[in-house]
Amino acid sequence: MNSEHAWSYEIDPILEALFRYIDSLSLPETPYVTGRPPVSKKSLLKCFFLKTYFSIDSLRKLVRILQRFRCFQRACGLSEVPHLSTFSRAAKWFREQGFPVFHAQLLQDLEVRYPQIVLIDSLYDSQAKWGVSTRYHWFKGYKLHLCTTTEGIILSHVLTTANRNDAAVASELLASLGQWDIEFVLGDAAYDSEKVRQTAEQAGILFISPINRRNSKERKDAYGRVLPVFLKTRFGQWLFGLRREIERVFNELKSDGVEQPRWYGFHRYLLHVLCCILMHNFEFLL
């Protein structure tokens, strides 16, 4: 970070508009009882977006940059820079409580009411390093699973380690769609699973994905016979052509830096991803 980057914020319309939007939100604040007054959650949230926007790869570095550049403090509404532990607690609150409130309000303001067709896919970072987790065992980086509208608005997400199969995560994405009256969900061949289709059918959704080539020789069920014919029809080609939009979403997230930081902790990476998702959706309001 240098003085040129610090000055660029003051003329950046996206951050300025995003911070105004945060000021308009209704976020629960910690009641002041004794001791020092708590730092506003809106100010801490602005700091997290500042961190994401400039690809600052740790909360400790964020604190140092805020201490160095007064313009960032003023932009975030801080009279003084909070301690690192304050940011750590706020990050946990944002992951568990703040993001769902922010995301739901943003979708409401975007008037996402009747997305009849949605898309699901996953983004995997091929440059990520191998890692080990006591819960997930060996894995290579993380994988971001998304469900979007055909316009590119992100409806829901699941962040997993890279060893999780797409079809195994699909049920979590489908479960998050209950508030909308969705008719079709489109996925690629990685979601070719009878279990996925049954889960979607229970929710009144028709799940469509191409036949996985690894299973094509064994497919003698009705779905395996009908789908190849359906995809050759004009409607089938148009319908599946909509999947190009979710590829565009991933490309935009990449250009916005969703893959840039090399986090070693799942929760640290999740904080970055959540901010990227909100910033992506917020641009539809501009």
In 10 A of CB 260, how many CB atoms? 12
Spatial strand order in the sheet of 206-208: 154-161, 142-149, 117-124, 184-186, 206-208
Give the model confidence (pLDDT) of 180-203 as tens digits. Answer: 889 999 999 889 888 888 889 888
CA–CA distance, 9 with 162 (Å, rounded to integer): 34
Q: How far is CA 107 from CA 151, 237, 263, in A?
A: 13, 29, 28
In the chain, what is the straight-line distance between the N-terminal and C-terminal CA atoms, in Å? 27
pTM reported for the whole predicted model: 0.87
What local confidence, expressed as pLDDT, does residue 147 receive?
95
Which amino acid is residue 151, in one-letter code? E
DSSP 258-283: TTSS--SSHHHHHHHHHHHHHHHHHG
Residue 83: HSE in the Cβ half-sphere, 13 Å Cα cutoff: 5
* pLDDT-derived band at 226, boundaries 50, 70, 90: confident
Give the model confidence (pLDDT) of 72-105 as tens digits. Answer: 999 999 999 999 999 999 999 999 999 999 999 9
